[in-house]
Amino acid sequence: MTKEQIEKRYNELVNGIEKKRMYDGRNTVDRYVCDTCEYMIHTTYKDKGVTPFTMRCTRCGGTMYHTKTFDKKTVPPYVMVFDWYRPTLEQTLKMSDGMIDHILNGGLILDSEKW
């Protein structure tokens, strides 16, 4: 894809997603648990979009599975919650082809600066 094609699709996505009929996790907190070392993290949606059911464990390289979803209001403030967010167009343009595809299909990425 050229830079112009990516830009066009990115803008269509951002302009259309609020009206799109799809799951919106912004008022929920998801729990992911590693099936190897049992490391657990909690995440929420900063933007409306798509998140994966599994991800790689940053502690041991195993697989973390989405195990539970909570109402955000019931999660106590001491629980650290990471954000799934949509990168800006500038950030997206610097990514690999696979990641650009993911973003243009509504995919979000996890805010890893807080890890």
Q: Site residues (CB under 5 A) for Zn ion?
A: 34, 36-37, 39, 57, 59-60, 62
Query: CB 70 → Zn ion: shortest distance, Å?
Result: 21
d(CA 78, CA 14): 32
Structure tokens at 94: 């610097």
Nearer CB in complex with Zn ion: 39/70:
39
Nearer CB in complex with Zn ion: 22/37:
37
Nearer CB in complex with Zn ion: 52/62:
62
Nearer CB in complex with Zn ion: 54/105:
54
Q: Three-state secondary structure along 40-87? A: EEEEEECCCCECCCEEECCCCCCEEEEEEEEEHHHCCCCCCEEEEECC
d(CA 71, CA 74): 6
d(CA 35, CA 62): 7
Query: CB 23 → Zn ion: shortest distance, Å?
Result: 26
Query: CB 39 → Zn ion: shortest distance, Å?
Result: 4
Query: CB 56 → Zn ion: shortest distance, Å?
Result: 9
